[in-house]
Amino acid sequence: MVQDLSDRSQYPARNRDGTLDVDLTSGKYLKLWQGPNHPGITGNMSVELTVCGDEVVEGKTHVGYLHRGFEKLMERRTFIQCFPIVCRICVPEPDFNEYCYAAAVEELAGVEIPEQAKWIRTLILEMGRFNSLMMYLGGQSGSLGLGVIGQWTTYVRDLMLDRFEELTGARIYHMFILPGGVRDTLPEGFDARMEETLREAERTMKDVWNVMFQNAVFRKRTIGVGYINPALFDDYGVTGPTARGGGVAKDVRRDQPYLAYPDLEFEVNVARDSDIYSRADVRRRDALQSIDLIRQILAKMPRTGPVMAKMPNMLHWKIPRGETYIRGECSRGEYGFYVVTDGSGYPRRVNVRGPSYTHAMALLERLIVNCNIADVAALLVSLHTYPPEIER
């Protein structure tokens, strides 16, 4: 086990049960709640901070503000009825839920999806990644007071939502990746409009580079701040850009390729310093990579053939007993569905493994010690967490 690296010398001693010996009446310590309503928090969660001066002594993540019990709800729904609810587990990047769920039940039922459906799924996942990263860039700069970046990234995200809308019929919850394939083929003229959107996105990304990443304030506040020791990555289940910002080239798309990724060309983005800036920069390059991948997909994908496999009557669909785990690389790291079936028409158990689960709980609580209050928001956002996937 890695040694505790943070310097705790000037902080309270631990009680025998491991809790901190904090006497709030001493006037030395203060309890401070960041969230659940707070501009420096991502979504519906809160961090209970104990501060000494302007430094954090202890932080505890509180979730549950958005708990809907998806995993349990799915046990009461037939396999097809689970399809509309999974996307709601993660608002900004819902498609991973659809993909992982569909792929898991397909594997357990022995369904092979058509080639064109694989490519359309890949396309959707990259569009979703781009959108999620746009939200992140806006949030990360916003956490440091650069509000205008969020306006620009929201603009291009909105253009991408237009593309989602014409492809899937919805803007946020697309409900397009059905078990067995996808609902439909690409609409007429989609490629041209997508190209327009991608060009606009590239222009915006240049602005983001100039105004955010080349900004002295942003650099001052992020370089060397929020450092995660790469030695901790395995201890805390760190994946995705958070790990890649620390030099570990973890990317499921490359490590265990799925869908059309074996046929796509891309380099795994890595940075060295494992601080907020490195993580932000990896994500910025991931967004540019998504743009490139979308172009590659549209150039390479087949345009004929079915998009749905031949399926049994979905109303009576039963899947033999079994269990499996399906993972993919979402914008924040490893996303996966562990699905257990028992031969009935309902899943026996579904467990959603979102990267936020490890990043925003144990890891954040570890990193937040010794952090300056003013940096808490930037640190939290740099882990790119979406609370619904913690409480599911």
Partner 1 sequence: MQDLQTRLAQHTDLGEWTQQRADLAFVTVAREHLHGLLRHLRDHEGFTHLVLLTAVDWLEDGQFQLTYLMNNRAAARDIGVRVLIPREGADMDSIHDLWPTAATYQRELREMFGIDFPGSPRVDEEFILEGWRDMPPYRRDFDTLKYAQEEFAERPGRVSKDPETHMKQKLYPDGA
Partner 2 sequence: MPITTVLSPFRAWKFLFQNPVTVRDPLTERPGAPRYRGFHQNDAEKCVGCGTCETICQNGAIDMIDVGLAPKDGDSGLRPRIDYGRCCWCALCVDVCMTGSLSMSNAYTWTDANADAFRFTPGVDKKPWDNDQLGYRRPEGHALHGKDRVEMAELEPEARIGTFDEIVAGYDVARARLEADRCVECGLCVATCPAHMAIPQYIKAVRDGDYERGLALLYETNPFSQVCGRVCTHKCETACAAGHEGDPIAIRWLKRHITDQVPHKDYVRIVGKPKKAAKGEAKTIAVVGAGPAGLTAAYDLARQGHKVVVYEVRKHPGGMPRYGIPEYRLPYDILDADIDVIRAMGVEIKCETRVGSDITMDELKAKNDAVILAIGLHLGRSTRIPGSDHADVRKAVDLLRQVTDEDPVDVPKSLVVIGGGNVAMDIARTMARLQMKAYGEVAVTVTALEDKAHFLADPDEIRECGEEGIDIVDARGPQEVVIDADGRVEGLRTWRVQSIFDAQGRFAPSYDESDERIHPGDMVIEAIGQAAGVDMLGEGLTEALEWNRGRIQVDADGRTSESWLWAIGDCVKGPDVVHAVADGHRAAKSILAAFEGKGDEA
Q: What DSSP assignment string belongs to 158-224?
A: HHHHHHHHHHHS-SS------TTB-S--PPTTHHHHHHHHHHHHHHHHHHHIIIIIT-HHHHHHHTT
| Whole-number CA gyration radius for the chain | 22
Residue 18: which of partner 1, partner 2, none does it interact with, CB under 5 to 8 A by kind? partner 1
Residue 170: which of partner 1, partner 2, none does it interact with, CB under 5 to 8 A by kind? partner 2
By CB under 8 A, tell whether 194 contacts partner 2. Answer: no
By CB under 8 A, tell whether 46 contacts partner 1. Answer: no
Coil, strand, or helix at residue 140? helix
By CB under 8 A, tell whether 306 contacts partner 1. Answer: no
Cβ atoms of 387 and 360 within 8 Å: the answer is: yes
Q: Which token pair is 159?
A: 């253009």
Give me the least distance between CB of 76 and partner 1, in Å please. Answer: 6
Non-local CB neighbours of 135 within 8 Å, separated by 6+ positions: 92, 153, 154, 157
By CB under 8 A, tell whether 340 contacts partner 1. Answer: yes
Residue among 89, 117, 167, 319 that touches partner 2 (CB under 8 A): 167
By CB under 8 A, tell whether 344 contacts partner 1. Answer: no
The Cα–Cα gap between 37 and 136 comes to 18
Cβ atoms of 5 and 235 within 8 Å: the answer is: no
Site residues for partner 2, window 70-129 (CB under 8 A)? Answer: 77-78, 80-85
Residue among 64, 147, 187, 343 that touches partner 2 (CB under 8 A): 187
Residue 63: which of partner 1, partner 2, none does it interact with, CB under 5 to 8 A by kind? partner 1
Residue 23 vs 188, nearer CB to partner 2: 188
The Cα–Cα gap between 351 and 70 comes to 9
Q: Which residues of this protein are in contact with partner 1, per CB under 8 A? A: 1, 18, 63-64, 67, 69, 71-73, 75-76, 107, 234-237, 239, 250, 255-256, 322-325, 327, 334, 336, 338, 340, 348-349, 351, 353, 357-358, 361-363, 366, 390-391
